[in-house]
Structure 1
Amino acid sequence: MKVLKGQDILALGFMTFALFVGAGNIIFPPIVGLQSGPHVWMAALGFLITAVGLPVITVVALAKVGGGMDALSSPIGKVAGGLLAAVAYLAVGPLFATPRTATVSFEVGLAPLTGDTPLALFLYSAVYFLLVFFISLYPGRLLDTVGRFLAPLKIIALAVLGIAAFALPAGPVGVAEPAYVAAPFSQGFINGYLTMDTLGALVFGIVIVNAIRSRGVESPVLITRYAIIAGLIAGVGLALVYISLFRLGAGSPSVAAGASNGAMVLHAYVQHTFGSLGSGFLAVLISLACLVTAVGLTCACAEYFSRVLPLSYKTLVVLLAAFSLLVSNLGLTKLIAFSIPVLTAIYPPCIALVALSFCNEFWRSPTRVVAPVMAVSLLFGLIDALKGAGLGDWLPASLAHLPLSDQGLAWLVPTVVALAGAVVFDRVMGKPAEAIA
């Protein structure tokens, strides 16, 4: 029976970590740290739940079912499951996350050197997505290209930045913004959505499993075990990166006062700490981090859509890279503004699906429990999304002031109530007729 060597397991863990650490992972923690001030670690706790805990749990859940999102979503039926998968893949693929990797790496790393002009962004993104295209054409080599080469370089660069954040703080911790004074934990929790790590985990599950199979491992038990180990390695790495970036942001009000996003905070800190060499270092770090994630997302999306559309994997890689190139030229600010309400709406049902997947053996019929709970979480997630999009005035007063609504968690209480009701209904109805037969 084929097994992975220790160095292959470590490379798999590095690859999984490198796939996750992209644009959002690097730009959101510094701004949260800056804005939360003395409440930084309470905000960090909420952020780590949605940006580390949930993705690791998702990788484990997917490993248990063989890596495919379709198996995970089977309790809600093929149509609903296919729709959820398509939305998740598009969100973390060509609509938001993949283009964002290019805009972030440009605006943080290169724009300070070349100027933030449309032409510079286009030329950079053209070269960037050309590299993404060529690397993504050979998904079977990801463990070698990413796990053994690109990921270690990325980890070294992040380690330098993380150590500097603690050893060389830019200054004292500043004053927290009102939102973080009122509810630092929930603000951090919601900001963790923006990394898209849980959606990324739903997408990367099949990439991780395929990387294991590319080494000749066929045993479902071993595939699950290796995927879980890889998820845990990635989770530890993500937590360390986030904690260092929270510290970096919290100590940067003296050099990044008035910054509107994490890219500005990062650039200000690196310029202050490393001087003129800092911009070059940051350009390499961000570009490398984002490129690896873009490759993983492109491979995963092409792999999925090649199974549901009459198009080949290579054709889809071309289409995905080209479309991502076009969207990336909209600019970072527009991408983030548009993605926030969409992510706020689709995260709650994804969280419910992953959490309930560990309890399927307790239900007499998983469909009776999972489907209604996900429907309720989506409905109330849409309410949070409308408020996040500035359309809260359109809502009736009764919906605009639900429990935890002010903290962006209006979906939580109704979802728990729906779960309790669904469990009772499931018990009363007993086993489905086909199960008895």
Structure 2
Amino acid sequence: MNKIIIISGLMLFSFFFGAGNLIFPPMLGYTAQNHMWLAMCGFAITGIIMPYLTVIVVAYMNGGVESIGRKVHPIFGLVFAICVYLSIGALYGIPRAANVAYEIGTKNILPVHNHFTLIIFSLLFFFVVYIVSLYPNRIVDNLGKYLTPILIFIILLLCVLVFIHPETSIKHPTGEYVHMPVVSGVLQGYFTMDLVAALAFSVVIVQTFKLNGISEHKQLMTSVAKSGFISAILLAVIYFSLAYLGATTVHHDFKNGTDILTYNTLRVFGPLGNLIFGIIVILACLTTCIGLVNACSAFAMKKLTKISYKKFVLLFSLLGFIVSILGLNLILQIAVPLLTFIYPTSIVLVLMSFVSMFIKIELKYAFIIPTIITLVISILQILSDFNISKNINALYKLLPFSNYQLAWLLPFIILAILGLIIDYFLRNKSQQSMS
């Protein structure tokens, strides 16, 4: 039993810790500086704790992302699932992993480093993704089994060496981390996409336990919770270590976490070590992309049965290639409205599902009302960010915590309580009418 839990915990960690997750903690530490610990506590809420709760919720409900969205409405469940798979897939997750592979893997290898080399690299990268995704067999599993531990070992070794010999002392914070480090950390945690990804792949962990003879609900929940805790602890160690690495890096106007990581691996390991690290990151990103293309294609094939799996693999590989050639910085900018739209709604659905685990009444309006208002506020925030209308901007700024980009939070809490009250009275009314 313990062996299965440990293996499942490591598997879950490898699902969460795609190579793309390397880039956010170093940049957070680099910017937050002596506010790093506060910022990382915020980051842990959306980047570690919420994904962990999601795994537990999926196990409890015994269903995937669509089953959670179906609590609001069947059509909403389908649309929400499509948005989730697009965000972890072709619109963000897949091209982000490909760009991280390019930025870290080739920065100090290629003699020329420009947009043309990005296109050539992406073309070759997604050709391999396409070919392997058509006939994956056990290639991805075996690569992931060995690559993930090696990648973790090198990252931890890098962080330990930086801890022993930091390049500089931690200084004063800059940007948004000066006045609101915790909130800024929470928002940075959005970019890991781990909560959204957990909605899609937690089913795999549940199935793993079932295949090993653990099917009784209470035992299954306990096993999933333990394996999730293992992955959460590993994520916390890696994330906080990478943030410290960023905080002790001398400022050279780095634009993203890949620049910081590349700089430090070259500084600590030298050219050969940097080359090895780059190759491992490329392979890790490759397996991440193959896994995401497989997951998205399998989901799409279930919904559009007349289109073959191979055609969906081609479609998602092409979409990943097209978006990836935009470059990492532009992809991260595109991701902001996408994550603003989908992440708060995902948090609301996960939290209400978690609450439903401890309440005996069937929840309906407690799901519907806060989810709808969160969606509306998220759309208002996106429109306000793009300055579509002065009236919309003014309306959005009236909402509490809008200046912290958390305008959905207070309405969610109030309306969730209201929904719970409505569901409670409706249940009592139903019981009275039956008696």
**Structure 1 pair 191–393 and aligned structure 2 pair: CA distance change class (3 A):** farther
Q: Deviations over 1:171-208 (max 9, x none)?
A: 11132114211100000000110111111111212333
1:328-407 to 2 correspondences below 5 Å: 328-360=324-356, 362=359, 364-389=361-386, 393=390, 395-407=392-404
Aligned to 1:183: 180
Q: Give percent identity, aligned residues only.
A: 31
Aligned to 1:70: 66
Aligned to 1:415: 412
Q: Report the 3-state secondary structure (helix = DSSP H, G, I; strand = E; otherwise coil) of the residue aligned with 2:71.
A: helix
Pairwise CA distance, 1:434: 10
Unmatched runs of 5 consecutive residues or more in structure 1: none
Aligned to 1:284: 279
Counterpart residue type for residue 405 of structure 1:
S
Counterpart residue type for residue 10 of structure 1:
I
* Contact 2:381-2:396 within 8 A present in 1 as well: no
Alpha-carbon distance in 2 for matches of 1:154, 1:129: 21
Pairwise CA distance, 1:68: 1.5
Pairwise CA distance, 1:417: 1.4
Pairwise CA distance, 1:293: 2.4
2:226 to 229, 234, 239: 229
Aligned to 1:327: 323
Which stretch shifts more, 336-345 or 267-276?
267-276
* Contact 1:46-1:187 within 8 A present in 2 as well: yes
* Contact 1:75-1:367 within 8 A present in 2 as well: yes
Q: Deviations over 1:311-343 (max 9, x none)?
A: 343432332223212221121121111111210
Q: Deviations over 1:92-111 (max 9, x none)?
A: 11111111100111012213
Aligned to 1:262: 257
Counterpart residue type for residue 381 of structure 1:
S
Alpha-carbon distance in 2 for matches of 1:173, 1:391: 40
1:85-234 to 2 correspondences below 5 Å: 85-114=81-110, 115-137=112-134, 141=138, 144-145=141-142, 148-212=145-209, 215=211, 217=213, 219=215, 221=217, 224-234=221-231
TM-score (norm 2): 0.90
Alpha-carbon distance in 2 for matches of 1:415, 1:193: 18
Which stretch shifts more, 268-277 or 221-230?
221-230
Aligned to 1:273: 268
1:285-304 to 2 correspondences below 5 Å: 285-304=280-299
2:79 to 72, 76, 83: 83
Counterpart residue type for residue 123 of structure 2:
A
Instruction: Count how many residue pairs are aligned between Structure 1 and Structure 2.
Output: 430
Pairwise CA distance, 1:394: 5.5
Which stretch shifts more, 9-18 or 22-31?
9-18
Alpha-carbon distance in 2 for matches of 1:84, 1:319: 20
Q: Report the 3-state secondary structure (helix = DSSP H, G, I; strand = E; otherwise coil) of the residue aligned with 1:275.
A: helix
Which stretch shifts more, 415-424 or 242-251?
415-424
Counterpart residue type for residue 277 of structure 1:
L
Counterpart residue type for residue 201 of structure 1:
A
**Structure 1 pair 147–290 and aligned structure 2 pair: CA distance change class (3 A):** closer
TM-score (norm 1): 0.89
Is 1:22 aligned to 2:39, yes or no?
A: no
Q: Report the 3-state secondary structure (helix = DSSP H, G, I; strand = E; otherwise coil) of the residue aligned with 2:253.
A: coil
Pairwise CA distance, 1:223: 5.1
Question: What do you get for the CA RMSD once the two structures are aligned?
Answer: 2.7
* Contact 2:96-2:331 within 8 A present in 1 as well: yes
Pairwise CA distance, 1:282: 3.3
* Contact 1:150-1:292 within 8 A present in 2 as well: no
Pairwise CA distance, 1:420: 2.0
* Contact 2:102-2:282 within 8 A present in 1 as well: yes
Alpha-carbon distance in 2 for matches of 1:146, 1:236: 23
**Structure 1 pair 143–327 and aligned structure 2 pair: CA distance change class (3 A):** closer
Counterpart residue type for residue 132 of structure 1:
V
Which stretch shifts more, 175-184 or 30-39?
175-184
* Contact 1:15-1:143 within 8 A present in 2 as well: no
Counterpart residue type for residue 97 of structure 2:
T
Is 1:61 aligned to 2:57, yes or no?
A: yes
**Structure 1 pair 240–289 and aligned structure 2 pair: CA distance change class (3 A):** farther
Counterpart residue type for residue 24 of structure 2:
F
Alpha-carbon distance in 2 for matches of 1:324, 1:267: 24
* Contact 2:156-2:241 within 8 A present in 1 as well: no
Q: Deviations over 1:192-247 (max 9, x none)?
A: 1011111111121233344555x564725365454433322221111111001100
Which stretch shifts more, 384-393 or 415-424?
384-393
Alpha-carbon distance in 2 for matches of 1:140, 1:280: 29
1:9-48 to 2 correspondences below 5 Å: 9-48=5-44
Counterpart residue type for residue 72 of structure 2:
I
Alpha-carbon distance in 1 for matches of 2:130, 2:204: 16
Q: Report the 3-state secondary structure (helix = DSSP H, G, I; strand = E; otherwise coil) of the residue aligned with 2:373.
A: helix
